[in-house]
Amino acid sequence: MAFNAVVLPEPTSDLIAALEAAGLPTDDLHQPGRCFYRFADDAGLIGYGGLEQVGPDVLIRSIAVIDDRRNAGHGAAILSWLEASAAEQQAPGLYLLTTSATAFFERHGYVVLPRSAAPPAVTASRQFSTLCPASAAFMFKELRTQ
């Protein structure tokens, strides 16, 4: 699946609207350590994805595919691209929190961990400590760094 990814120098109104439409947090998008990407192909906008550096660790911040591009494998393609990007940055693995996409991430090799297993930098993040509810699944996938 061919698409291009463009780093957003700052959160845009379109990114914020897409995240809000997907029920994803937007309160801290302007804080340091977050990097969001816009994904598009010849047919137009596919969606957005983001990574958040938290100390030595990396969180998948968000993946949002716009409604009319869903159910075509775009979410998996964005996830794969984010994983490759994190691996290029020598991240040993990726963490995430989700309230609704546990099965999606499990299909792509992520495992649910107890929240108590989170590294200190992850637990100190706003994503972990305040933005996602305590009921959110905490997940991890080890990456093969290049």
Concatenated DSSP letters of 4-36? EEEEESS--HHHHHHHHHTT---TTTTSTTEEE
What is the structure's pLDDT at 85? 93
Residue that the structure tokens 């305590």 belong to: 134
Distance in angstroms (rounded) separating the CA atoms of residues 64 and 118: 24
Residues constituting the chain: 146
Spelled out in words, what is the top-level CATH class assigned to the domain 4-142? alpha beta
* pLDDT tens digits in sequence order for the chain, 146 residues long: 688 999 999 999 999 999 999 888 898 898 888 999 999 999 999 999 999 998 888 999 999 999 899 888 999 999 999 999 999 988 889 999 998 899 999 999 999 999 999 999 898 888 888 888 888 899 999 987 54
What is the structure's pLDDT at 125? 87
Distance in angstroms (rounded) separating the CA atoms of residues 29 and 32: 8
